[in-house]
């Protein structure tokens, strides 16, 4: 008899299996596993053949009643899906393991080996594995059917417009959309005159896109719907939804004359201001006093003023003399220095202007700058007329010109490149516009080179065709600004992305 | 035949519940058909008396009474008529004694042969003394594979014993030493662990339920030494797959 403090170690003996007589450790059924298996089949009553629906177009499988699950062959999602189809069966037994058995990809059969456990015969737990065969039946899913029937069918569309003569905003917008993958769900993208149209299959995708636009640009939108069909029995209404988004016509580097009310609300900001940055706020800079102000989207649309002069009207000036007047100011990350300058237009050296400029930190005598020629401009602006007794400066310089240096690099490829969205070009746009568009694009690329903060939100990729050696030979002391190589997304990433996408499409 | 396998009492293969076999007598329950009784009678009639009886009005006589060639112990709820009937039918040297014991299923609590008995750990001291007296045995309080109902999980004869299959090797050794007979852990009636309910045995005869497999029969045959005449070599061979311990 074992006492309380000392426990006798117990070794299990062996018994003979009551059926086949081989020696085994005793278990609740007292039969060896083989005999038990032959005796009891725990997979009895479990389905061994199941039919599943598969859409050949989008490679997805139907989970009744209506969900289509996209899954690759022999993937985790497919395994989860297969096991889920057997849910009712698997309530009776406990699932321990599931794995795929290889089948020919075109055989339309999937085989899954399941290992299950069940309690049998007074407490013994038996583990058994069995194979379930899934027969794949081809059946197009609803969305593929709809696309096949009418490939141009859309449910929601977003029409973005900006009433300006250039397309710089839309180039920038395109890059932003690519960076944030905002147009992933768009069925079609169309380039229109003064804007872009996007088409979506789902209203919520369109709403999401409109919200995205609202975050990156000062926009105003309205929406409408059009009844397409009506099922009177179930009272289902099918609509086509249209969202019209208007982006404010104020762009970077625009010269604006503020309406008196706005100027007053901003603290008497000098009526002539330059727009320095456009996101969902508009940043205005008074070049003569170096005061910066922000206009909210709402605030802008309350007054919706237009710009006085746009970047198309920039004229080149030659700087003869610069005299720094003020110390360096740091306004939101950018430095400005007020200076008096003696300039003349490159096209007409006869007339010299003495003007005040905020680019004192950048310009040196002999430099070239781009600016607005207010002396020569004939502005028909209501707002301007409202200011009685306003003396307009003769010129306002906006930025430094690197035109000469660019001449050297003309024709040579850049070390970086941008991706682009697939857009359908409307035939409406005539041939004459093409040149304009190209020069706009070139301007845009130059803008990117010159402004690091513009680049901040975009992804630039290394241009594989670019040869490094040429760049080295051409470089001289004062070079045109270019994108430093560290900012470029590695070549590897780009190719991986492209190859990866191809791989998945297989 | 030394082993009568394939026995059924009213379609139940639990032979040991409805019968009690010792070296001096055999008790059989009263059943609907005479098949059960005639099985015993055909084998034992000329050797020992086969007595049809009930105990406490029930048919589960095998589990209610405990006995050997010297005596028979019956529970307190045995009726007087049954007691008288037993006293009349059994040979004179067999002492029939009724015990006042709260554990009335004596067959489940006591496993005994002609020399030694294993009992339930909670049995009364007086009962133990009566057992020692009436049956003429040495009494040990034990458990088998952690079960206190030693009478159900062990079938004992003077030549050997079969115990619960989960009995550990140390336990087997200990019990074997106490009982002075070879013991084996095994099953009866196709893997049932309740040995004494599935079979009943004496020194030369064993009766097993109908579900008993051939393997189990061979184990029983060898441990209770029921084979007619055997060369030692075959026995040795069998022993390799069994756990025995000799004193």
Q: Which residue of B has its CA nearest to A12?
A: B168
Comparing CB atoms, the residue among A9, A13, A17 nearest residue B185 is: A13
- The pTM score is 0.54
Lowest mean pLDDT among A24-28, A253-257, B45-49: A24-28
The residues of B whose Cβ lies within 8 A of any Cβ of A are 141-142, 165-172, 185-187, 190-193, 213-216, 218-219, 241-243
DSSP B147: B
Q: Which of B171, B215, B241 is the mutation pick for testing A, counting most A CBs within 10 A?
A: B215
Give the pLDDT mean for B79-103: 93
Alpha carbon separation from B31 to A124, A153, B17, B19, B37 (Å, rounded): 34, 85, 12, 11, 8
A143 or A468, higher pLDDT: A143
**pLDDT interval class at A475 (50, 70, 90):** very low
User: Where is A417: in which H helix or E strand?
Assistant: strand A416-417
Q: What pLDDT is stored for residue A470 in this prediction?
A: 46
Contact list, B243 vs chain A (CB under 8 Å):
13-14
Does the pLDDT at position B44 exceed 50? yes
Does the pLDDT at position B230 exceed 50? no
Q: Where would I find the beta strands (DSSP E) of A280-324?
A: 282-286, 291-295, 314-324
User: What is the dihedral sign for C-alpha A122, A127, A128, A132?
Assistant: positive
Comparing CB atoms, the residue among A1, A18, A29 nearest residue B215 is: A18
Residue located via tokens 């306004």: A331
Find out if CATH 3.90.1150.10 is the number for domain B2-244.
no
**pLDDT interval class at A4 (50, 70, 90):** low
CB contact under 8 A, A16 and B168: no
Q: What pLDDT is stored for residue B81 in this prediction?
A: 94
User: Where is B178: in which H helix or E strand?
Assistant: helix B169-179
**pLDDT interval class at A506 (50, 70, 90):** very low
The strand pair at B71-74 and B95-98 is best described as parallel
Contact list, A9 vs chain B (CB under 8 Å):
170
Q: What pLDDT is stored for residue A499 in this prediction?
A: 36
Q: What pLDDT is stored for residue A22 in this prediction?
A: 82
Contact list, A16 vs chain B (CB under 8 Å):
186, 215-216, 219, 241-242
Q: Where would I find the beta strands (DSSP E) of A309-415?
A: 314-324, 329-331, 334-336, 339-345, 348-357, 368-373, 395-400
Does the pLDDT at position A502 exceed 50? no
pLDDT in tens, A300-334: 999 888 888 888 888 888 899 888 888 888 877 78
Comparing CB atoms, the residue among A9, A10, A30 nearest residue B191 is: A30
pLDDT in tens, A243-264: 999 999 998 888 888 888 888 8
Report chain B's mean pLDDT, rounded to a whole number. 89
CA of A119, closest CA in chain B: separation in Å? 16
Q: Which residue of A has its CA nearest to B244?
A: A13
How large is the C-alpha radius of gyration of chain A? 36
CB contact under 8 A, B215 and A21: yes
Q: What pLDDT is stored for residue B102 in this prediction?
A: 92
**CA B27 to mean position of chain CA atoms:** 12
DSSP A312: G
Give the pLDDT mean for A183-195: 86
Q: Which residue of A has its CA nearest to B169?
A: A13
Which token pair is B193? 């662990």
Q: B124-148 as b/e, with b when 16 or more CB fall inside 10 Å?
A: eeebbebbeebbbbebbebbbbebb
Give the pLDDT mean for B35-44: 90
Domain ranges of chain B: 2-244
CB contact under 8 A, B169 and A20: no
* Cβ contact B131:B117 at 8 Å: yes
CA of A11, closest CA in chain B: separation in Å? 5
**Interface contacts A/B by beta carbons within 8 Å:** 58
């Amino acid at each position: 008899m074992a006492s309380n403090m000392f426990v006798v170690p117990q070794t299990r003996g062996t018994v003979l299996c009551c059926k086949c007589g081989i020696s085994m450790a005793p278990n609740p059924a007292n039969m060896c596993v083989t005999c038990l298996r032959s005796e009891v089949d725990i997979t009895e009553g479990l389905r061994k053949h199941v039919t599943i629906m598969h859409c050949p177009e989008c490679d997805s499988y139907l989970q009744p009643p209506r969900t289509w699950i996209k899954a690759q062959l022999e993937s985790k999602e497919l395994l989860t899906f297969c096991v889920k189809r057997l849910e009712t069966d698997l309530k009776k037994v406990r699932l321990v393991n599931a794995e795929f058995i290889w089948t020919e990809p075109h055989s339309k059969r999937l085989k899954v080996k399941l290992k299950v456990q069940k309690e049998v015969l007074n407490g013994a737990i038996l583990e058994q594995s069995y194979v379930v065969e899934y027969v794949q039946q081809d059946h197009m899913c609803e969305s593929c059917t709809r696309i096949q029937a009418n490939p141009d069918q859309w449910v929601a569309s977003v029409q973005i417009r900006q009433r300006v003569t250039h397309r710089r905003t839309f180039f920038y917008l395109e890059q932003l959309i690519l960076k944030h993958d905002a147009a992933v769900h768009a069925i079609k993208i169309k380039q229109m005159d003064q804007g872009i149209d996007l088409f979506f299959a789902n209203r919520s995708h369109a709403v999401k896109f409109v919200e995205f636009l609202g975050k990156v640009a000062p926009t105003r939108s309205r929406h409408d719907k059009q009844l397409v069909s009506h099922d009177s029995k179930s009272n289902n209404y099918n609509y086509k939804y249209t969202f019209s988004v208007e982006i404010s016509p104020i762009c970077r580097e625009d010269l604006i004359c503020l309406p008196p009310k706005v100027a007053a609300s901003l603290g008497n900001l000098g009526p002539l201001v330059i727009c320095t940055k456009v996101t969902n706020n508009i940043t205005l800079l008074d070049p003569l006093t170096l005061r910066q102000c922000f206009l909210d989207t709402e605030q802008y649309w309350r007054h919706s003023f237009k710009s006085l002069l746009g970047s198309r009207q920039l004229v080149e000036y030659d700087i003869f003399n610069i005299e720094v007047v003020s110390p360096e100011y740091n306004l939101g990350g950018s430095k400005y220095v007020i200076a008096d300058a003696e300039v003349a237009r490159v096209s007409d050296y006869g007339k010299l202007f003495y003007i005040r400029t905020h680019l004192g930190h950048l310009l040196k005598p002999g430099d070239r700058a781009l600016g607005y020629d207010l002396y020569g401009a004939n502005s028909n602006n209501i707002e301007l007329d409202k200011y009685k007794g306003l003396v307009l400066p003769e010129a306002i310089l906006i930025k430094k010109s690197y035109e000469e240096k660019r001449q050297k690099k003309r024709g040579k490829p850049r070390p970086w490149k941008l991706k682009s969205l697939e857009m359908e070009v409307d035939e409406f746009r005539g041939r004459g516009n093409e040149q304009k568009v190209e020069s706009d694009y070139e301007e845009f690329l130059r803008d990117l080179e010159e402004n690091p903060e513009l680049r901040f939100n975009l992804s630039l990729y290394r241009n594989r065709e670019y040869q490094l050696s040429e760049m080295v030979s051409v470089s001289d002391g004062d070079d045109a600004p270019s994108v430093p190589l560290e900012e470029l997304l590695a070549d590897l990433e780009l190719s991986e992305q492209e190859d990866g996408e191809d791989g998945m499409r297989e | 035949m030394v082993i009568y396998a394939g026995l059924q009492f009213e379609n139940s293969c639990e032979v040991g519940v409805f019968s009690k076999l010792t070296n001096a007598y055999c008790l059989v329950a009263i059943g609907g058909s005479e098949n059960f009784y005639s099985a015993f009678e055909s084998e034992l009639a000329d050797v020992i008396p086969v007595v049809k009886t009930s105990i406490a009005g029930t048919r589960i006589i095998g589990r209610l009474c405990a006995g050997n060639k010297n005596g028979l112990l019956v529970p307190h709820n045995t009726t007087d008529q049954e007691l008288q009937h037993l006293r009349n039918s059994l040979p004179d040297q067999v002492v029939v004694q009724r015990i006042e014991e709260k554990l009335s299923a004596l067959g489940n609590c006591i496993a005994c042969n002609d020399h030694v008995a294993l009992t339930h750990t909670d049995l009364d001291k007086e009962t133990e003394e009566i057992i020692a007296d009436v049956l003429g045995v040495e009494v040990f309080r034990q458990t088998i594979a952690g079960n206190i109902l030693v009478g159900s999980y062990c079938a004992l004869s003077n030549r050997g014993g079969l115990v619960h299959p989960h009995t550990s090797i140390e336990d087997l050794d200990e019990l074997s030493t106490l009982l002075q007979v070879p013991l084996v852990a095994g099953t009866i009636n196709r893997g049932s662990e309740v040995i004494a309910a599935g079979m009943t045995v004496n020194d030369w005869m064993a009766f097993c339920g109908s579900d008993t497999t051939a393997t189990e029969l061979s184990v029983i045959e060898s441990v209770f030494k029921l084979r007619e005449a055997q060369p030692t070599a075959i026995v040795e061979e069998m022993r390799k797959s069994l756990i025995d311990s000799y004193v």
